[in-house]
Amino acid sequence: MGKSIVWTAALALAAAGLATGNAALGQSAGSGSALKGHNSNAPVDVSADRIEVQDRADRALLVGNVHVKQEELTLDAPRITVAYASGGQGVTGGNVKIQRLDAAGGVTMRSPTETARGDFGVYDLNRKLITLVGGVQLLRQGNRVDGQRLVVDLNSGRAVIDGGGPVGGGGRVTGHFTVPQRTAQ
């Protein structure tokens, strides 16, 4: 594997679930991520300080305090570009199908049990993949995994964190996991 180590965050979080003895964490860790089975076909709600629709390019720019919500999944960033297919109707025609969200400027993704942060993010709704890159941190119930790239497959619930780093630079994945507090007997 060389100096660049790839960890499956699901494995690390499963170990953390076993270590903490938390049944809820252990159950979702077995499936990899609380996002497994997330309905990427659900409506997407957006809010921003400014929205610029570029109908000819089939995209919209959301700028300033951008908040995106799809069921229990939220995405917050200073700037998000929305790529959509309009079927010739445009945004005002009401037949818009969001294909992809590209977030920049510091991205925070939240589910009911997990929070992930990175410098940039892509949510590909067609492939059901969420990717965060740059200074990535995945948090779940007091446990943390840090790396340079996180890919979450919403179909399988598998989350993979890559250490990345410059070529030959030895980027590594690191983690901090809580353990149950035992009383002396």
What pTM value is reported for the model? 0.75
Long-range contacts (CB closer than 8 Å, 24 or more residues apart) made by 39-46: 39/70, 39/71, 40/70, 40/125, 40/128, 40/154, 42/70, 42/71, 43/70, 44/68, 44/69, 44/70, 44/98, 45/69, 45/70, 46/80, 46/82
Could you report the per-residue pLDDT of 45-64, keeping only the tens digit for each?
A: 999 999 999 988 999 999 99
CA dist 154 and 3 (Å) reads 28
Quick check: 4 and 162 in contact, CB under 8 A?
Answer: yes
117: pLDDT confidence band, cut at 50, 70 and 90? very high
115: pLDDT confidence band, cut at 50, 70 and 90? very high
Among 24-38, 58-72, 96-110, 152-166, which stretch is predicted with the lowest mean pLDDT? 24-38
Side-chain half-sphere exposure of 19, counting CA atoms within 13 A: 13
More confident position, 55 or 168: 55
More confident position, 91 or 177: 177
Question: Which domains occur in the chain, in start order?
Answer: 6-36+47-166 (2.60.450.10)
CA dist 143 and 149 (Å) reads 17
Helix or strand (DSSP H, E) at 103: strand 97-110
